[in-house]
Structure 1
Amino acid sequence: MSRLFEKDIGIKIISLFFAVVLWFFVLDSSNPVISYDFNIPLKIENEESLKEKGFVIVNKNFPRNISVSVKGRQNKISTLDVNDIEAIIDLEKIDDVKTKSLHVDVYIHKEGFSIESITPGVVNFELEKVEKNSFPVNIVIEGKPKENYKLIGVSSTPETIFVEATDSVVNSIGEIKVFVDISNITSEMVIQKECVVYDVNGEVLEDEELIFNVNVEVEMAKEVPIVPVVKGKPARNYIDGVHKVSPDKALITGPPDIIEWIDNVKTQEIDIENANQSVTKTVELNIPEGVRLIETPENVYVDVVIEKVAVREFTIKSWDIAIENAVIDGSLIYEIPGTDINISIEGRKEELDRISVENLKPSIDVEGLKEGRHKRTLKVVLPRTVDLLEDYEVEVIIEKKEDLDEG
């Protein structure tokens, strides 16, 4: 009886084995294991950790996609898509600048599948250390200021550029410049400019990592004369002469539409009424609203020279006197009798000493006069600080030319 039972168990085991084999056979026939290739985007992780370690990848020609061959049952493969698979390289795994490659890690977020192949399975790259260095911004002025304008100052913000790049890039930098054209600038102005980076040989470096912008502040001022304002008249027999101011010019700045129309800066009034000696005063400048002084004091020194009136006499010959507005057709003859005319001129002695008869350019105006004897006022050319003591008359004889011919 026991032998029969043992015989039945053996038969049952053999039958079960064949049943399992048959089941797998049927399964493989109706739902076989197959391979399928997926094109998966490559993800780069932990790039910031690379910077923290002081490294940078100098060639980022990573493949955009990875081909992954996945093995699984046919009915399950059809449920799998690219969103269920990840292809990653983890930059945190890099500990040495000499690292040249990383394996691509592929993860399938569904069960029942295996990875048959990954192409490419390794990503190659080159590392360099990140260096930091600072370079001053050298401002290069181009163009010339407009007439009467002066460049007061120029600066950049920031004044120094901190460059963080690969060792080879940082070591190649020679200097950093920014170019500013001041031709049309007439006031304070801030201009944003892009810097130009040069290598150690003076050639321009074209690199996206080396694009820097700075704000350049340009301070321009207009130079105008300072005009002293004097009121009143000196005491009798005294005259005011030279007006000197120190400094004699002012630098001003402000809104361009105001500065453009300012030709001078005036002082407050200096009263010389009844003065009999030179006056020296410190006075304030009258600055228009909205205008500021640059490198110019608000108070200036003004000297007004007061001196006694000097008198000088001149003898004018008749032939020294020019005749103005004579008829141009030659029908009239003009004659000034040969009598000397003595005139007296008063003014500052220094000014009088520089005068000659030729400087006076004596003349009379005969416009509208007919034949006969006439008296006309003598005209002379005088400096501002010099006057004739009185009016002097000159006799002129006018005759028709035909009367002379008949005589």
Structure 2
Amino acid sequence: MRLLPAALLLSLLALPAAAQFGPQGPPAVGVIPADRQPVTESTDFTGRIEAVNRVEIRARVTGFLQERAFTEGQEVKAGDVLFRIEKPPFEAQLEQARANVASAQATLENARVALARARELQQTGAGTRVALDNAQAQERTANAQLLGAQAAVRVAEINLGYTDILSPIDGKIGRASLTPGNVVTPTLTDPLAVVVSQDPMRVVFTVSSRAANELRNRYESRGGASAVVIRVRLSDGRPYPQAGRIEFIDTQVDRNTDSILLRALIPNPVRSGVQAGTPGDRELIDGQFVTVAVEGSEPVQAIVLPRAAVLQDQGGNYVLVVDNEKKAQRRPVRLGRTVRDQVVIEDGLQGGEQVISEGLQRVRPGQEVNAAPAGAPPAGARPPGAPAATPAGGRPG
């Protein structure tokens, strides 16, 4: 093995690193244009489905429950008979009240005859003023008794009508808490059943005061509540196909949670291919938890970037853009809605800037970069599978 001369070895060691390995150029990065595009604005909240009408079915009179006239879970119409209470005791009370009316009418007729006789006697001088006054009082008393007996008939008729317990609304009825044979009274703790309306349904959700102000500022100039639609995602993540509209915004802020309640109406038709009235025939159920999306009814022009292009540190969210001198510059941004791997930039970019989305780990603010469209190979790079360049007059290296 031959050794290099000492002078030659020392001269090689004295060469700078750049001379040994070649110059290091600016880091290669991929950039995307921060262009504006149509975006549907959306903000998500947690909400609950509520029936517009919810009625607890209770007995209005005391009696034995004779019949349940519905199937649990079926849809009923207003006026449908749900339960029947034993009728004979109430029919007997009605007959007795009518008999009392007949007796009161007879008493009144007799009092009127006595009053007429007392007047004749008083006019001829054979009767006294006291007898006439007594006859008048008895006639008035008999008339009042007749009115009371007639009112008792009306009460008995109402009570008899209450033995048929009817549905006051259209809706779906739940389980029955009592079976025929039990005694029911108006004072029972639990209702006999509950009927909830089905279409439309309400979506109830709360919004923090800060979020409410942001929504108001965003949509106030476009028409307020009429400029948004309400969309729902079910518990399994499926989007519900029907859209709703806000119908009510509470007039008070909850002092415990600093939030305000909003309520929207949303259609709940029978599902396609399912027979109405069968279990699960409608998608939305009273009391169901859902994800509520408050969306703008019309798309707006906004800047959308890949989520990976947005960095974060103690100063907040920011992106790196390439300026006219081909240097990376930091731009603080305010983020909006995130959809999958895309995020809306609400503030911080004007549009048209070149935002670095690839090679961010190799760049520092103020550093010169070698920018190329994201996803494209760097300048001078050899495409995969292409042959190496051949020097003039030589063989491939």
TM norm structure 2: 0.20
Q: Which of the two has higher C-alpha Rg?
A: 1
Q: Which structure's residues are more often strand, by fraction?
A: 1
TM norm structure 1: 0.20
Q: Which structure's residues are more often helix, by fraction?
A: 2
